[in-house]
Amino acid sequence: MSDIKKEIERRRTFAIISHPDAGKTTLTEKFLLYGGAINTAGSVKGKANSKYAVSDWMDIEKERGISVTSSVLQFNYDDYCINILDTPGHQDFSEDTYRTLMAADSAVMVIDASKGVEAQTIKLFKVCTMRHIPIFTFINKMDREAKDSFELLDDIETVLGIQTCPINWPIGSGKRFKGIFDRESKEVSMFQAVSTGGSKSAKETDYSVTDAALKEEVGEELYGQLIEEVELLDGASEALDMDKVSKGELSPVFFGSALTNFGVEAFLKYFLKMTSSPLPRQSSEGMIDPMEEPFSAFVFKIQANMNKAHRDRIAFMRICSGKFDAGKEVFHVQSGRKLKLSQPQQLMAQDRKVVDEAYAGDVIGVFDPELFSIGDTLCLPGRKFEYEGIPTFAPEHFCRLVQLNSMKRKQFMKGVTQIAQEGAIQLFQDYQLGMSEIIAGVVGTLQFDVLKYRLENEYGCEVRLEPLSYGYIRWVKDSSTDLNSLKRLNDVKKVKDMKGNPLLLFNNEWIINMVLENNEGLELEDFRKN
């Protein structure tokens, strides 16, 4: 195998999805500890920032350099080269969070054992299923009182509509959490909490399930319960069908406790074994094989630097095939231009470094000479294909943009258009009034503050943001539909995007259903393929 193929083969590129506070940061940190990329817990950047109040966002933005670097973490573990894509949560939850999933080959879903599936997980999960990527579940915080394990599985199956296959099974939870039974080896790892500091892993004692000492350790009652539950599982749960796993139809489930570092390394090992190296991707010329095609990549995220002294933009691209060589020219398909990517950077744990080479599966950030848009393709000169575009996802918060100084219309339009192009906001116009009523839509409300700040500071435009009460937007599938011909739209706002596609804004799902019922043949979508 060539060196390039070997490098691609050992790559694993995934995102960790969860509802805020389920333990995504803690789990990521433990992975990094295992990879030797950091030495002590608590050093993953972004964690301290992850719970900031909205009013603090400017400080965060000033440090963009730092948060940029925490967008992707690369480290080695065993023979693997791991790329973890950060999916911002909390107030920073934005369309970027969805788009990052377009660059991942698989996802780890972290669920808080005491809560089950929560709102943000559902949204992120939907994007994963749309792409049919494998999803691995880590049920976290078993050291706290947890919901019944069968109930948790049931929750995942019914709320998310994916089959589950537990790889291991917990013995008790909270104060009575005794350990984890591995269904394949039939061994039990006994739980022993360790401090969360630098130590790599919790001390684990292993027993075979038939070992008399185990019964003594966990007590008659929990032992009996384990045997009973395992029998039930063996009889009732889905078999581990790797074909279904690879299509995202079945999720292998693991139990553990990230904070106490229990079950984390076992999970990481299984996960790396079960996931694949970078997969072929659909393009205008059919599937592009990561091993066969020379360098190609697509842009999935654009980040503007908030620091006035360096008002540059960084485009993040996921390499989809071959090897990136910083010395060579690449071809930007959408503009038809050849260029050398300037200052390509990659991230090793917290450090940003300029790289000369990178491989399929990796993510690099490059300076964007205001040329790139989200979804753009880069390949080698002589080749010309486009990767499938990145969908536009439905925003959930809307504001009317009122420009306070009408003399600055040009700057205002330039500002909102550029910020929309970076993907921070989406722009809509009133269906009738057109551009005289501009509406901005965002996935996370923090983006409104970013928008206002940037319009004022970068484009010199004072704006007032008038919140609209709608929380749901839907694209009308048939874009030739005349919205004025639809019935029962009293509580619905009719808008169009900047390309003229018709959309409807709703207050709740009940109204969406009512409109659908009253307009036969009408089809609505909560994302738009580009």
- The interface mask with ligand G4P, positions 214-243, x = CB under 6 A, is ------------------------------
Q: How many CB atoms lie within 10 A of CB 269?
A: 14
Cα distance between residue 78 and residue 81, in whole Å: 8
Q: Are strands 250-255 and 163-166 parallel, antiparallel or unpaired?
A: parallel
The residue (of 25 and 373) whose beta carbon lies closer to ligand G4P is: 25
> Tokens standing for 384?
């010309």
Does residue 492 touch ligand G4P according to CB under 6 A? no
Does residue 259 touch ligand G4P according to CB under 6 A? yes
Q: Quickly list DSSP for 433-489.
A: TEEEEEEEEESSTHHHHHHHHHHHHHH---EEEEEES--EEEEESSTT--GGG-S--
Cα distance between residue 360 and residue 324, in whole Å: 8
The residue (of 193 and 498) whose beta carbon lies closer to ligand G4P is: 193
Does residue 25 touch ligand G4P according to CB under 6 A? yes
Chosen residue from 21, 238, 449, 458 binding ligand G4P by CB under 6 A = 21
Q: Among all chains, which residue has been given the structure tokens 């796993």? A: 245
Does residue 26 touch ligand G4P according to CB under 6 A? yes
The residue (of 19 and 301) whose beta carbon lies closer to ligand G4P is: 19
The residue (of 350 and 501) whose beta carbon lies closer to ligand G4P is: 350
Identify the helix (H) or strand (E) that includes residue 52.
none
Cα distance between residue 243 and residue 376, in whole Å: 31
The residue (of 193 and 339) whose beta carbon lies closer to ligand G4P is: 193
Stretch that binds ligand G4P, among 15-23, 157-165, 234-242, 295-303 (CB under 6 A): 15-23
Tell the burial category of 447 from Cβ atoms under 10 Å away from its Cβ (0-12, 13-18, 19+).
buried
Cα distance between residue 363 and residue 360, in whole Å: 8
The residue (of 255 and 428) whose beta carbon lies closer to ligand G4P is: 255
Does residue 88 touch ligand G4P according to CB under 6 A? no
Does residue 144 touch ligand G4P according to CB under 6 A? yes
Chosen residue from 20, 252, 395, 423 binding ligand G4P by CB under 6 A = 20
The residue (of 108 and 299) whose beta carbon lies closer to ligand G4P is: 108
Does residue 143 touch ligand G4P according to CB under 6 A? yes
Work out how close the CB of 313 gets to ligand G4P at its nearest, in angstroms, rounded to a whole number: 27
Work out how close the CB of 88 gets to ligand G4P at its nearest, in angstroms, rounded to a whole number: 10
The residue (of 179 and 375) whose beta carbon lies closer to ligand G4P is: 179
Tell the burial category of 118 from Cβ atoms under 10 Å away from its Cβ (0-12, 13-18, 19+).
middle
Does residue 261 touch ligand G4P according to CB under 6 A? no
Terminal-to-terminal C-alpha distance of the chain: 37
The residue (of 47 and 64) whose beta carbon lies closer to ligand G4P is: 47
Does residue 38 touch ligand G4P according to CB under 6 A? no
Work out how close the CB of 81 gets to ligand G4P at its nearest, in angstroms, rounded to a whole number: 23
Chosen residue from 70, 120, 189, 257 binding ligand G4P by CB under 6 A = 257
SS3 for 225-269 is HHHHHHHHHHHHCCCCCHHHHHCCCEEEEEECECCCCECHHHHHH
CA atoms within 13 A on the CB side of 445: 10
Q: Which positions lie near ligand G4P, rule CB under 6 A?
A: 18, 20-26, 50, 89, 140-141, 143-144, 257-259
